[in-house]
Structure 1
Amino acid sequence: MITFSKIALSLMVVAPFVVAELEHRSPVHQAHRSRAHKLRNSEPTAHTNSTVTKRAPALRFPFGSTKVRGVNLGGWLVLEPWITPSLFDNTGNGAIIDEYTFGQFQDYNAAHSKLVNHWDTWITESDIAAIAAAGLNHVRIPIGYWAFDITGGEPYHQGQYPYLLKAVQWARNHGVKVLVDLHGAPGSQNGFDNSGKKGAVTWHTNSQNVARTNAIIKTLAAEFSKQEYADTVTSIAPLNEPAGFVGGTIMDVVRQYWYDSYGNIRYPFGSATQGPLLEIIHDAFQPLSSWNGFMNYPNFEGVAMDTHHYEVFSDAEVSMTWDQHIQTACNFGINTIGSYTANNIWTFVGEWTTAPTDCAKYLNGRGVGARYDGTFAGSTRHGDCNAFTGDRSKFSSEYKTFMRKYYEAQVGAFERGGQGWFYWTWKAEEAQDWSYQAGLAGGWIPTNPSDRQFPNICG
């Protein structure tokens, strides 16, 4: 059981762990780091360190035989303007566009009070109970680096970590497993507002940024590898959505970081003994085929790939017909994911949605319009957004039927081609087309993910 004293102790150790990690690494981690450095420009080969146990301990979930069916707790411990627009609109300041500026442009006490109220109310144990009742077996919980490490005048606020621990306890109470996801890194790994700071992508340009990130992952792995979490925390995603598309050296840094994370997550005990947590790496927006041969079993044990599937972030995608959206999802899950998974690595779709448009308020950023209705700079209007986002009471029966088909197509395809999925996201203030909770209430998401009204939707 997680007690107040344990939470307080956890907070006490957060501050010094970054410095300690930069000064010390276990011999096993050093071996992995050295080996990974040599592999940066070559294909991975079998581990040659005879001191490393090849047989991994039992993972905490039967990933190979039971499909992951999960949902993201988005917008909770990492703010996103489109998920909770009221938090941003109520500031009265249009310059506040992410969690960084939320702290930068407000009085500290005022901002902190708003954050604590948000953490207390956005996700509660009743949400986890509802998730379990909906037949889901996992939650993916995003958290930012600033929950653990603030330096150099970064205007973030801390206090998120105790809520992560609470969520783990709630999940335990209701038989739900947890994936801990580091959603934002120092310098920003993608420049998205959901990384904490919108704008430049500089995580990979400074070795100190990467070192700070590694330190956080090592501490998370050491904590959640403990036996007390054996029935709940199954996996760690060491970095969400690094932006491989920016070019330059970022992919070299990302691949090296995945190797380093293997040492941190799979060998968390400072010895040659493997831990029980699955490392979930991300495709960095690169084709899955480009990762063929990277960190595959049996050379690497306890590694899975995460890919995110949205069909809304380009003019070409929002112009598709509903049937084309469904066919695209079917093809991606069955063929693209299926072909990659056949190369001996588990694959999950860590984010996806039933929304076929980018109409949700602030989805493209606070103050930024949508491609679908032509209010996004340089886009072409395809239709009126009013009918496709907001409160579900205005959704037509035809639209809800499409979203039910789209849900079933994606669930079926992602489970057929891979090991499962995490829907994005559990709830949203306004954008009910993106909300699993609203979908359950509105009927386009079934109360049992195995229920099928359109069992042959993907053929």
Structure 2
Amino acid sequence: MHFIDIWLGLILLGISSGLTITRRSVLDTLREDIKNGHIPMKGVNLGGWLVAENWMTKGSPAWNGVPDDIANKGEYQTMQHLGHAKGDDQFKRHRDSFITEQDFRDISAAKMNTVRIPVGYWITGFDNSGGGDPNGWRVFAPNAINYLDRAIREWAPRYSLVVLISFHAAKGSQNGMDHSAPSDPGKSHWGNYPENVRNTLDAVEWLARRYNSDAAFLGIGLLNEPSGTTPENVLKQYYYDAYGRIRLFSNCLLVVAPLLYQQGPYDSDWRNYMSPPNWYNIRHEWHRYQIWGFEGWDENRLISYAQNDLKNAVNAWTGNWLFIGEWCIASSANFNNDDDLRRYAQAQLDAFKGATGGWTFWTWKFYNDDGSRNGWSMKAMINRGFIQL
């Protein structure tokens, strides 16, 4: 029996290894096809998970005992209010419960190929940049990296998904908004202090090195929604420097975003920025929401805008391949008619066919998502048939 057990064990090991090799081959092909522009990213953001946002996770234990006026300012202010004695456990429970393996299974079953995962600078567990606030990262609940490891090394490979990391929250904040977890809410200090930029360079290089050999690692969005007081020249130099550091050891995808108000085909000289063939595996990122600036628009006007203006803007872009990193079908219009909401979603999907880099919807779900008519929740919109892939 002993020899039979060994023999059976070797057979099972061989089968397991074969499955692992096959799965890696599938991921390698997918990853390279996306990088080469043969297929677009078609995916979703795991918003509110490793960079918590109160407005979409109100039912989470992360916010227990936290007044809304503090919670709405982001993770830094929340942890400062709670302290580690309470906050560490609450954020652990949030990370454990909000996104699980089942979500990756469902995303894959919905015929998507990519998850975009927002992270904050504190995920590295260090800050060697010097300057002000060298211990700011210590305010946050520790061990977020364990969840990113699990996503990239276990869950994504298991369901043939690739992961794009989004550097959502930089030291000093690049936009002052809650999703950048600012220590000074409403203010953006990232681009005004060299130590902040150095910290971000260290962090994106560290992440790229950590995951470079993982089959499910697609790349990094180098900075999410830079705006506020961020100087354009500092932002562009940061992208140059990040590219230089990472290209020493990796050809992963690198995503650059212009300032938030420059997300159109004619708004700036970004069309000629870091152009091939001298630069490669770069995507240019837009976030196109038909919400702010569209207040009071009715359903037909929003649908018409997506079918015409949005589609034309995407098709007019001539720089690095375009990637729509965030969009949704939430709006100020009521969309009481199911067919209208379905048409609205399809109009945006049709417009984004012109984006060679593809798209990732914001966001996958809300905490305790009940499947209601929530245009921010891709899970709910797919389950109700409003988004059809």
Q: TM-score, normalised by structure 1?
A: 0.70
* Structure 2 residue 96 is the aligned partner of structure 1 residue 112: no
Say yes or no: does 1:336 pair with 2:309.
Answer: no
**Mind listing any 5+ residue stretches in structure 1 that lack a counterpart?**
1-57, 270-274, 358-371, 373-387, 389-394, 450-459
Shift of 1:402: 2.3
Please report how far the alpha carbon of residue 310 of structure 1 lies from its aligned counterpart in structure 2 after TM superposition: 0.6
Give the distance between the partners of 1:179 and 1:61, measured in 2 at CA: 14
Distance in 1 of aligned mates of 2:66 and 2:247: 46
1:158 aligns with 2:142: yes
Whole-Å Cα distance in 1 between the matches of residues 119 and 223 of structure 2?
10
Specify which of 247, 250, 265 is matched with residue 231 of structure 2: 250
Contact 1:71 1:139 in 2 (8 A): yes
Give how far 1:237 is off: 0.7
Q: Contact between 1:265 and 1:279, CA under 8 Å: does it hold in 2?
A: no
Distance apart, 1:221 and its partner CA: 1.3
Q: Which residue of 439, 445, 449 maps to 2:387?
A: 445
Which one has a larger percent helix, Structure 1 or Structure 2?
A: 2
**Alpha-carbon separation, structure 1, partners of 2:308 and 2:275:** 23
Deviation readout 1:85-142 (Å, 9 max, x if unpaired): 1346632424333101111111322111110011111111110000000010100010
Contact 2:66–2:78 under 8 Å retained in 1: no
Report what 1:61 is aligned to.
33
Match of residue 123 from structure 2 = 147
Mapping 1:51-90, distance limit 5 Å: 60-63=32-35, 64-87=37-60, 90=64
Which stretch shifts more, 323-332 or 182-191? Answer: 323-332
1:433 to partner: Cα distance: 2.1
Aligned residue pairs: how many?
337
Q: Distance in 2 between matches of 1:409 and 1:225?
A: 36
- Structure 2: runs of 5 or more not aligned: 1-29, 128-133
Mapped pair 1:238 → 2:214 = no
- In the superposition, the TM-score normalised over structure 2's length comes to 0.82
Is 2:296 aligned against 1:313?
A: no
Establish whether residue 134 from structure 1 lines up as the match of residue 110 from structure 2.
yes
SS in 1 for 2:375: helix
Pick the aligned partner of 2:200 from 213, 216, 220.
213
Match of 1:192 among 177, 186, 189: 177
Is 1:170 the counterpart of 2:170? The answer is no
> Alignment partner of 1:74: what SS?
coil
* SS in structure 2 at match of 1:85: coil
Offset, 1:302: 1.2
1:246-299, CA deviations, whole angstroms, 9 ceiling, x for partnerless residues? 35x6111111111112112332x2xxxxx2301111122213431121111112
Tell me which residue corresponds to 2:255.
280
Q: Distance in 1 between matches of 2:211 and 2:314?
A: 29
Partner residue, 1:16:
none
Distance 1:153 1:410, change over 3 A: closer
What letter matches 2:222 in structure 1? P
In structure 2, the partner of 1:297 is 276
Partner of 2:244: 263
Q: Specify the SS of the correspondent of 1:71.
A: strand
Residue type of the partner of 1:433? G
One-letter amino acid of the counterpart of residue 74, structure 1: G
Q: Considering only aligned residues, what root-mean-square deviation do their CA atoms show, in Å?
A: 2.0
The offset of 1:152, in angstroms, is 2.8
